[in-house]
Amino acid sequence: MDVKTDVLIIGSGIASLQAARLLGQHFQVQIVTKSSVQMSSSYRAQGGIAVVTSPDDHTNLHIADTLAAGEYHHEHRYVESLVKEGKVMMQQFLAEGLPIDRQENGEPALGLEGAHSHHRILHAGGDSTGQILIDYLLQHLPSTIQINCNEMAFELLVNTNGACIGVVTKSEKGIKRYFAHHIILASGGAGALYPSTSNYPTSTGDGIALAYRVGAAISDMEFMQFHPSLLWCQAQAKGLVSEAVRGAGGTFVNAKRQPLMAGVHPLRDLAPRHITAHTLYRQRAAGQETFIDITSIQHFENKFPTITKLCIENGIDLQNGLIPVAPGSHFLMGGVIADDRGRTSIPNLYAVGEVACTGVHGANRLASNSLLEGITFGQKMAQFILKIGCNQTNFTLAVAKRQQTMPALLSKEQLQQSMMHSVGIVRNPDDMQRFIAQLPPLQNLLQVNVMDLPQQQLELYMMHIVASLMVHAALTRTETRGAHIRSDLPNNETAWAQSWVIFQQGQMKVRNSLYEYHQTRRNAQTIF
Ligand code: SIN
């Protein structure tokens, strides 16, 4: 079945809905999502939205915190956009009536999270910020927008000029081809490539694999952020215990209630995530159990209803004041290179939110900057598309040349275990090389004709592409920066400052800017 629309969005998190809200007022918009609107990382977000609202705070301080957390591996001008334009957009949301938590005097109740110098986290429903924000956007979505659930996008369509003109999806009902003037990837991250994650199992990095297959430039794939506190029950991660719990006074302890962060970092339990995650990782590797002690937090159940429910569902008794936690994958800083309007290196293909790499998060995202990213860049992208309009005239498909059959793949469990072992919190070149040897070469993966594969196989195939990009990037960056630790090279290396590992058209290179500018083109901002 073929469907024609103006704008097609893949994914249904905050960046998707924020863009759709505006685009749907003027254009036909279709959203395709692999599962449901309730199964995105945005919907699950507990902590909140980092934004400067207090007179004691300043956007320059928010920028400085973002740069320090990400170890200065940023696209500076976009960090400024995020913080300054994001502030204006959030003010609009508040003026419109977004129901955030407020103090008795009516001022926003501001939370504190890791690596923030000030209380600046807006939250809603205590720890249900993502859910309330998504429900709010859904209520404000133009009624003409169609959301197609349980459809997996598995192939982007490109015309004879190399522009993206559509996508092919698969569902229980069969195959659909969508044709559109603008195709937006808003499909989220790749936390589910690891066995323990705060993400839904559907976060398998599909958008990155789709874009890579059509030759889009991808970067920063070595930077996966690990959250230090996933609820840990029966040797499994069961969801997130927000950093806001530590912002409210919770502390990391061992089974004897001895503090774990004292003397490790001046910010102790609110140190940047790579420090807290690494500390817990080391404790657990040495056989210690790890907990958050919540005894100092009054009215925990009222402040953190989502976490309370999660604990009750998993049989955790909050009365003893200890929540068992362990680190796990949380947020991918890398992805499809995009500018602040979502433009990628493929004409008419956009990327926004976690699937995109705009350089705003550097090598380690500052807590609660991701909902702000979705809001800010979702709106900027929509404004740009509205300005340029829908004027694609060439819907003639380029001839697909992929003919290879699928090489042998690892099972999903093998892949996830290998990712944690070799591309986890602590990495070494030998393990990474051994993992690469187990994976089919990227060149072979690229040539596979995926049209007839069943959905599960498609997902596993995409996971292999993303895993391969991640391990190659991680091996190539011979230093420690941001979210993970290279055990053989534990420091920042000057030679690697301002260097990006880029994948494009089946090649990998290192260059000294995230974007490549073609000054001869009419638009010097064009990126390749
Ligand atoms: C958290 O609530 O701890 C997660 C917030 C974030 O990752 O931005």
- The pTM of this model reads 0.96
Chain CA centroid to CA 379, Å: 17
Best residue among 242, 270, 280, 366 to mutate for probing ligand 1's pocket (most ligand atoms within 8 Å of CB) is 242
Kindly indicate the confidence band of residue 404, based on its pLDDT and cuts at 50, 70 and 90.
confident
CATH number of 2-187+331-388: 3.50.50.60
Tokens representing 215 are 């030759």
Kindly indicate the confidence band of residue 402, based on its pLDDT and cuts at 50, 70 and 90.
confident
Residues 320, 355: Cα–Cα separation, whole Å: 40
Protein residue closest via CA to atom 8 of ligand 1: 368
Start and end residues for every CATH 3.50.50.60 domain found in the chain? 2-187+331-388
Residues 215, 505: Cα–Cα separation, whole Å: 4
pLDDT at position 517, please?
67
> What is the pLDDT averaged over residues 174-187?
98
Ligand 1 nearest-atom number relative to CA 331: 7
Domain 228-329: top CATH class:
alpha beta
User: Could you tell me the distance, in angstroms and rounded to a whole number, from the CA of residue 26 to the centre of ligand 1?
Assistant: 34
Q: Is 468 helix (H, G, I), strand (E, B) or coil?
A: helix
User: Could you tell me the distance, in angstroms and rounded to a whole number, from the CA of residue 242 to the centre of ligand 1?
Assistant: 6
Kindly indicate the confidence band of residue 160, based on its pLDDT and cuts at 50, 70 and 90.
very high
> What is the pLDDT averaged over residues 457-483?
97
pLDDT at position 518, please?
57
User: Could you tell me the distance, in angstroms and rounded to a whole number, from the CA of residue 425 to the centre of ligand 1?
Assistant: 17
Catalytic residue annotation:
273
Chain CA centroid to CA 143, Å: 28
Q: Taking 80 as the threshold, does the pLDDT of residue 393 lie above it?
A: yes
Return the exposure string of 432-450: e unless at least 16 CB atoms fall within 10 Å of the residue's CB, then b: beebbeebbebeebbbbeb
Are 171 and 150 spatial neighbours (Cβ–Cβ below 8 Å)?
Answer: yes
Task: Provide, rounded to the nearest whole percent, the portion of the chain with pLDDT above 90.
Answer: 95
Best residue among 116, 243, 273 to mutate for probing ligand 1's pocket (most ligand atoms within 8 Å of CB) is 243
Q: Taking 80 as the threshold, does the pLDDT of residue 528 lie above it?
A: no
Tell me which residue of 128, 131, 100, 326 sits closest to 244, measured CA to CA: 128
Q: Taking 70 as the threshold, does the pLDDT of residue 522 lie above it?
A: no
Ligand 1 nearest-atom number relative to CA 243: 3
Best residue among 42, 43, 113 to mutate for probing ligand 1's pocket (most ligand atoms within 8 Å of CB) is 113
Ligand 1 nearest-atom number relative to CA 366: 8
Start and end residues for every CATH 3.90.700.10 domain found in the chain? 228-329
Residues with C-beta less than 6 Å from any ligand 1 atom:
46-47, 240, 242-244, 331, 367-368, 370
Beta-bridged to residue 291, according to DSSP, are 253, 324
Q: Is 507 helix (H, G, I), strand (E, B) or coil?
A: strand
pLDDT at position 520, please?
44
User: Could you tell me the distance, in angstroms and rounded to a whole number, from the CA of residue 45 to the centre of ligand 1?
Assistant: 7
Kindly indicate the confidence band of residue 344, based on its pLDDT and cuts at 50, 70 and 90.
very high
Protein residue closest via CA to atom 1 of ligand 1: 242
User: Could you tell me the distance, in angstroms and rounded to a whole number, from the CA of residue 405 to the centre of ligand 1?
Assistant: 40
Q: Taking 60 as the threshold, does the pLDDT of residue 525 lie above it?
A: no
pLDDT at position 10, please?
98
pLDDT at position 524, please?
44
